[in-house]
Amino acid sequence: MDAQVEQVWVKPEDIGREACAMEVIASLNQEWEAGGIKACGQKVHAKTYRMLLAGHDDSLVEVAEKCVTLGKLKRTSGTMSNIINSIIQSDSRPGTRARRYLQNDSTRLDKLAASTAAFLACSYLLGIGDGHGDNLMLTEDGELFRIDFGFLFGAGPLGPDAPAVWLPWTVQEALGPRMHEVIEAAREAVRTVLCRPGVLKASVFAAAFAGHPSPEAYVAGLSLEDFNQKVSSLGTFGLFKSAKDLFHDVAYCGIPRWPQRPEINTKSPAALAFLMSRSDADICTPESLVRRR
């Protein structure tokens, strides 16, 4: 993992799928480092953080420090202090908030470029759903990373959702001319993994998380051509993404929502045991993994 845990928070639900996704992302990082994939001189690397099961209905999640969600950055961009700062910087356009947060520092923007390439590749390869600004974080030194992996391999929440391959306009604005190199690095990252589909461990998810959309079917449909088509649409905003943003913003205005209690998945400890053991998926079943814990 990236750093020693300093703070954790308790999440009252089973985050087994999310923890497994984090292990897969760590494997992707290894593949990309071995392949020497870079963007703007920085290693293409997706930030990871610790997730630990404390029981069937409680989990511990590492707190990421010195960062902010893009949703919060958007909501606070209209405060008086930020308006004054934007005037001082001679740039008050709302879409520049990410660049202003990084103080237009070239080193931070280079790191943003490399982490954005990793974010795009991970989003496509894992089919991550429920994309919105409060599921995307930005560190002070420019690292963009995803949180909340509750929807994977093409699954999504009820109602409109953003496409798996998406990128907020404020990040695209901050990257500016770096965006071309970001896309090229993301393509190389996807190509590298598609040459070794076992890295995604789709069979593990299929065995340990029954009842969800088939990970194996999703992975089988991945291709570099498909990714190229999706990444070429980053500059457009579709109806579903606009509706997703509207519904999410409404929720933050305090309008009551139906409480949702995540379904407890009793098989996720088995999946974690498998991923940590690096065993062969063909000879493992959820039942045998439970016995090995």
What are the residue boundaries of the structural domains of the chain, listed by start?
8-284
Chain segment 216-257, per-residue pLDDT in tens: 899 999 999 999 999 998 876 554 444 445 444 544 444 444
| Per-residue pLDDT, 52 | 75
| Per-residue pLDDT, 94 | 53
| Per-residue pLDDT, 167 | 94
For residue 165, the surrounding DSSP H or E stretch is none
User: How many CB atoms neighbour CB 99 within 10 A?
Assistant: 22
Rounded CA-CA distance 247/163 in Å is 15
Q: Which residues of 140-161 are buried (b: 16+ CB within 10 A; e: fewer)?
A: eebbbbbebbbbbbbbbeeebb
User: How many CB atoms neighbour CB 95 within 10 A?
Assistant: 16
Give the domain 8-284 fold.
1.10.1070
Rounded CA-CA distance 134/147 in Å is 8
Chain segment 112-131, per-residue pLDDT in tens: 999 999 999 999 999 999 98
| Residue stretches of the chain with pLDDT short of 50 | 1, 3, 5, 79-80, 82-84, 86-92, 239-244, 246-248, 250-266, 270, 274, 277-293
DSSP secondary structure, 196-258, as one string = -GGGG-HHHHHHHSTTS--HHHHHHT--HHHHHHHHTTTT---HHHHHHHHHHHHHHTT----
Q: Tell which residue, 165, 156, 154, 159, has the closest CA to residue 205.
A: 154
Structure tokens at 9: 């928070």
Residues in the chain, total: 293
